[in-house]
Structure 1
């Protein structure tokens, strides 16, 4: 889905062809390598978007001694589906790192709706953490496991507090239009 969002967002800026998008994915940061986006995967996503009726071929450029370039444009349905796909990124993400493609394309969605999604996610996360803390108080461990329980409890607690803090910071920055 992230690749499809990237393609649709590039087509919102203007018509383009797959090879150009592949180059944009690798410059200046090699996102294509980091995300495992090969040329064949990219073409697969273009084909998928065509089959979904979100994009279409708008031009074929013929060059001597080179393969034809298929230039794609976004259709009305694609413009309507892009925000839905971005909202799904926020809804399905378990970590902020899984929200990057949504954050990069936040200009195509309603910020208030994103904040609403994130606040709901934050409430669920905090409620889950409180439940775990209550459960942790009830667990009795052998003396020889006490150190492990303390270590794991500290690790999980620190990680959870860190996640809550950064999620709150993300919500604040979206509200302030800093992101």
Structure 2
């Protein structure tokens, strides 16, 4: 889904072709390698978006001694679907790191709707934290599991706290239009 959001967002800026987008992802920071994005994956997603009616081929650029370049454009349906894909990405994300592409292209979505999604995630994390604390309290009553329970509680508590802090910072930055 992140790759499709990236493609649609780039096509919102103007017609483009897969190889150029791949090259943009690799310079100056090799995001393509960091995200294990190969050219074949990019072409696969262009094909998928075409089948969904979200992008369409515009022209083929022929150059001597070079492969043909198929240029794509976003469709009206693609413009409508882009924010929905961004909302879905935020809803399905388990961590802030899963939201990176959505954050980068957040300008294509309604920030208030994203804030609502994030606030629900924060509330869910607090609920999860309370439930885990209750569960670990029961586990630590068992002397043989006390050390295990403490370690797990500490690890999960810090992981959840970390996500809550960064989600709250993201909400604050969205509310103050820093992002």
Describe the shift of the 1:71–1:10 C-alpha distance in structure 2 as closer, same or farther (beyond 3 A). same
Q: 1:32 — aligned with what?
A: 32
Q: 2:143 — aligned with what?
A: 142
Aligned positions, number: 178
RMSD: 1.2
- Please state if 1:42 is matched with 2:42: yes
- Cα deviation for residue 62 of structure 1 reads 1.1
Query: 2:136 touches 2:149 (CA, 8 Å); kept in 1?
Result: no
In the aligned structure 2, how far is the partner of 1:74 from the partner of 1:125? 36
Q: 1:116 — aligned with what?
A: 116
- Cα deviation for residue 80 of structure 1 reads 0.5
Q: Flag structure 2 segments of 5+ consecutive residues without an equivalent.
A: none
Q: 1:96 — aligned with what?
A: 96
Q: 2:131 — aligned with what?
A: 131
Q: Flag structure 1 segments of 5+ consecutive residues without an equivalent.
A: none
- Cα deviation for residue 30 of structure 1 reads 0.8
Q: 2:3 — aligned with what?
A: 3
Q: 2:166 — aligned with what?
A: 166
In the aligned structure 1, how far is the partner of 2:158 from the partner of 2:43? 42
TM-score by length of 1: 0.94
Aligned structure 1 segments of 4 or more residues deviating by more than 6 angstroms: none
TM-score by length of 2: 0.94
- CA deviations 1:11-32 (Å, max 9, x no partner) are 0000011110010110121111
Query: 2:83 touches 2:109 (CA, 8 Å); kept in 1?
Result: yes
